[in-house]
Chains A and B, each alone.
Chain A
Amino acid sequence: MKTRRLDVRGTKCPVPIVRAKKEVDGMQAGDVLEVLATDPGSMSDFQGWAKMSKLAVLKEQRTEKDETGREVYVHVLERRG
């Protein structure tokens, strides 16, 4: 089981989800992907996409501040078995 990290800070929709889907498609069952985004709309977007997705499960969402003081939205996804 591996954990990957995807940094899409500074990008706007649809980029965070387009790139997250690409990552998840290439992962093994049980692998985890942590997505770092700065778009506040990504919170609802990841919830909505995970409901639709056949492969990604949304395990957790949290808000952090990065070293420059920016709000960062962290989305933790797991590849379905």
Chain B
Amino acid sequence: MGEAGPATPSIEVGDLLSRADAGEPLLLLDVRNDEEFDTWRFEGRRPIETVHIPYFDFIEDPRGCVDRLPRHREIVVLCAQGGSSAMVVDTLREAGLAARNVAGGMVAYGEYLQPVRVPVDAAEAVSWEIWQVNRRGKGCLSYVVRSGREAIVVDPSRDVQWYEDFARRLGARIVRVLDTHVHADHLSGGPALASLSGAPYFVKAGEGFELRQSVEPLADGQDLRLGGEAGVTVQVRIMATPGHTPGSCSYLVGRRHLLTGDTLFVTSVGRPDLGGHVVEWGRALFRTLRERLAQLPEDTVVLPAHFAGPDEIGADAVVAAPLAALRRVVPELQIADEEVFVAAMRAALKSPPAAYAEIIRANLGLVAIEPDKATEWELGKNQCAARAMPAVS
């Protein structure tokens, strides 16, 4: 059995996700090893029928493996990086089955960015728009806010050219790049995007952190004005919301759209344990949630930096929720006593993301990012919420 030839038919991650989200009856054959299959799956917004047969089983016993698969359905084959699945596609096609390879495998899935427009009122839409950029494989959400010919990007992923191109498609140039906090689960594209677009970058690391990125400082309560043409502007307010990290900030766009970073998600809150100070950071998070966010109106729309599973993606494809609804359903927001809250955060302690220490150091600018290592560090889904989240749904 050789390697895949150039004629191996393939499907791009974006096409496969669109088909899965639309509920097409797909048959996905995942050929990764047991460990990789158990820790991180390809997920659509609707369940995908999935068969798991490792590629080395095909090497050892191709005939036995082919016999386990239906002969009259197209099979979509997936592996870690696209090489082993291409080999399996060739094996299946030689045996007369219809099969296609997922180009780039789980690495491509983990890097794929899907822009979704956040619904706003007609009056708001006159002046500005918000795009939620969904990194489906990792559950990371970044944002592009545009008003007139100017755009702000919040929490960009590593593929910075994507944001530059996207802003251009919206007819805007990037005038500012913001991170809500020093991320621990993925590498920030913030500094690289800022230098690519010539825009200032902002992140607040907080006390005790050495930040070596070039940053234009912004103060709590400060308003940024975006747009600039007559009548076409939107205000972005900086709000210090410490807890998940001591420097965490949220950004209020217009009157009611709040980019919460990892402070508040649509089913949980951000874990305050990644710095080894769960009690101290837990207290800060409690005060942020009870005092700072409690002052915001009921119709505030929470737009978080992560989601835990595809069930958090709404019918309109956006991950968002009104603050009023979250006050009713998020268990951590029901806790009125600081000590009880801190005890709950301690009880929810779990192991940190695999390469989080290296990722934090890279995001602070203390070490350079090697492209090979970057892919390895970022494998798998985010684990930023305080509650234990299943690896697969």
Contacts and interface: CB of A to CB of B under 8 A. Distances in A.
Interface stretch (A7-15, A26-34, A72-80): A7-15
Interface string A25-50: 00000000000000011001101110
A40 to B, nearest CB: 7
Interface range on chain B: under 10, 10 to 19, 20 to 34, or 35 or more?
Answer: 20 to 34
Contact of A13 (B35, B61, B81, B376): B81
B60 A45 contact: no
A53 B60 contact: yes
A68 to B, nearest CB: 13
A14 B33 contact: no
Contact of A52 (B2, B3, B56, B376): B56
B83 A48 contact: no
25 contacts: A13-B80, A13-B81, A13-B83, A13-B84, A14-B56, A14-B59, A15-B83, A17-B55, A17-B56, A17-B59, A18-B59, A21-B59, A41-B33, A41-B80, A44-B34, A45-B33, A48-B33, A48-B34, A48-B56, A49-B59, A49-B60, A52-B60, A52-B61, A53-B60, A54-B60
Task: Return the 4 tightest CB-CB contacts between A and B, nearest first.
Answer: A49-B56, A14-B84, A44-B33, A44-B35
Contacts of B1: 18
Contact of B3 (A14, A47, A54): A14
A75 B54 CA distance: 18
B364 interface: no
Nearest to A16: B56
Contacts of B79: 13
B311 interface: no
A52 B57 contact: yes
Nearest to A38: B372
A21 B55 contact: no
Interface SS of chain B: helix, strand, loop or mixed?
Answer: helix
Contacts of B61: 52
A41 B56 contact: no
Contacts of B80: 13, 41
A45 B80 CA distance: 11
B36 interface: yes
Contacts of B87: 14, 18
A40 B376 contact: yes
B19 to A, nearest CB: 26
A14 B31 CA distance: 11
A44 B84 CA distance: 14
Contacts of A18: 1-3, 59, 87
Given A14-B59, A49-B54, 8 more contacts: A12-B83, A13-B83, A14-B56, A17-B56, A21-B60, A45-B54, A45-B56, A53-B60
B60 A14 contact: no
Interface in B78-117: 79-81, 83-84, 87
Interface in B347-385: 376
Nearest to A50: B56
A51 to B, nearest CB: 9
Residue among B36, B55, B56, B83 with most chain A CB within 10 A? B56
A12 B376 CA distance: 13
Interface string B1-36: 111000000000000000000000000000001111
